[in-house]
Amino acid sequence: MFVAPLLYVVHAVLAATLSATLYFIGLSGNFGGGLIDCFVQNWIPLFRYHAWTYILQIAIGLGFTAIYFVVFRFLILHFDLPTPGRTDDGGEDKLFTKAEYKAKKEMEKKGIAGGADALKAQVFLDCLGGPDNIREVTNCATRLRVTVNDPDKVAATSKFTNAGAFGLVKNGHAIQVIVGLSVPNVRGHFDALMKGEMPAAVENTVPETKEASAETPAAPAAESIASVDEDDRSMKLKAFVSGDLVDISEVPDDAFSQKMMGDGVAIKPSGDTIVAPADATVSMIMESSLHAIGLELSNGAEVLIHIGLDTVNMNGDGFTLLTQQDAQVKAGDPLIRFDRDAIAKAGYNDIVIMAVTNSTEYPQMKKEPDQPVVAGETPIVIF
C-alpha cells in the first residue's frame, strides 16, 4: 500500500474480480480464516456434495495466481517500482509502518530529506505530541530525554519501538526514549525538526548533553575486554574495571535492568580505571560529561560503558579521558579514569555497566556468574 500504491489498486481490482468469479460459479462460504477453516467448514463436510465446485475453486485460484504474477511483474518492470529487493545499490529495503510513512511525508512537505536517524527523529517527535508539546530536550549516552507539557499526548510505547527505539520510560512529564548509541544523531535531527529545518551536517552534530533530575537515573556503563580465544572460535570479554561482577538485571535502572539497551553485566568497582575490552574503535564519547563511552569490538559487538548512575549531572568533574574519538585501542588500554569519592560526594551510585547494544546478534553469548574480578584479567562474557 505504501511502497507501491499502484500495485495495491491493481490488487483491489483483481481481488474483487476473483470474488465475483467464485460467486458466479456458485461458491460461497467462510474462506477468511486460512486453510484450517477452509478444510473444516467447507471442503471436508461439503466436498461429497459439491466436489466439482471445489475443484473449480482450486483451478480458478491457480489461474488468478498466474494472473497476479504476470500483471505485477509487468507493472513493476514497466514503471520501475521500488519494491523491496529492487532498491538502488546501497539503498535500504524497508517496509514502513503507518507512523513512519506519515512522518516521511511530513518531512517531504517541509523539503527535508534524511536517513534512518532523521526518520526516527520525526516519528519520535510526532509520538511525543509534536513541537508544541515539547518543553525541553536533552540526551545522555543512550537516551533522548524530553520534558513534555501534556503526558497524555505521548503515544504508546509500541509506536516508539516500531520506529526503532529500544523502549520508553515515563515519569510524569519526563519522558525517556531509549535510542541507543545513535542518540546524538537522532538528537541533532530532532532539534532541527523542532525548528522546521534539517542542517546538512546534522549527522556530525553532537548536542550538549544535560540530564533532568526528574527522570529515571541514567544507566551505568560497563566495559569489557575482548581477546580472541586460543582456538579462534570464540571471544572472551574480560573485566573492564576491578570490582564485584553482577548481572545487568541487578542494576537499579529500568532501561538497563530490563535489557532495553541489550544484554550485559555490571561491576561494583573497587578500581578507578576503565580499560579497553579488546582491539576496538572508540565509536562514542560523552565529551561534556565523560561518564560514558562506546566501543566497536573486532567481532562486531557494540559495547556501551556507562560509569555511575546519573553522573552525567557532574559535568565531567571527577572524570579524566585517557583516549579520543575514533581511536584504535588495544586490549587493556586505559579509556577513562574516574574518582569514586567524587561520585559518592555528589550522591550518585558508582556502579559501572557494560551493555552489548547489539546482543541480539549474539544468541550464544554467555555471562559468567557474580564474582570478584580484576580489570583486563578476569573473563566475564564469552561469545
Which of these is catalytic: 4, 119, 121, 140? 140
The C-alpha atoms of residue 175 and residue 148 are separated, in whole angstroms, by 7
Report CA torsion sign: 120, 123, 127, 128.
positive
Grouping H, G, I as helix, E, B as strand and the rest as coil, residue 227 is strand
Calculate Rg over the CA atoms of the chain: 27
Residue 215 falls in which region: left (phi positive, over 0), alpha (psi -120 to 50) or beta:
beta
62-97 in b/e form (b: 16+ CB < 10 A) is eebeeebeeebeebbeeeeeeeeeeeeeeeeeeebe
Q: Where are the alpha helices (DSSP H) in 244-292?
A: 254-257
Whether 274 contacts 334, CB under 8 Å: yes
Sheet with strand 319-321: strands edge to edge: 273-275, 334-338, 319-321
Angle CA(143)–CA(145)–CA(146) in degrees, nearest 5? Answer: 150
Distances (CA, A) of 343 to 36, 242, 309, 348: 63, 17, 9, 6
127 is catalytic: no
Q: SS3 helix, strand, coil % of the chain, rounded to 5? A: 35, 25, 45
- Assess contact for 227 and 238: CB atoms under 8 A: yes
What residues are labeled active site? 140
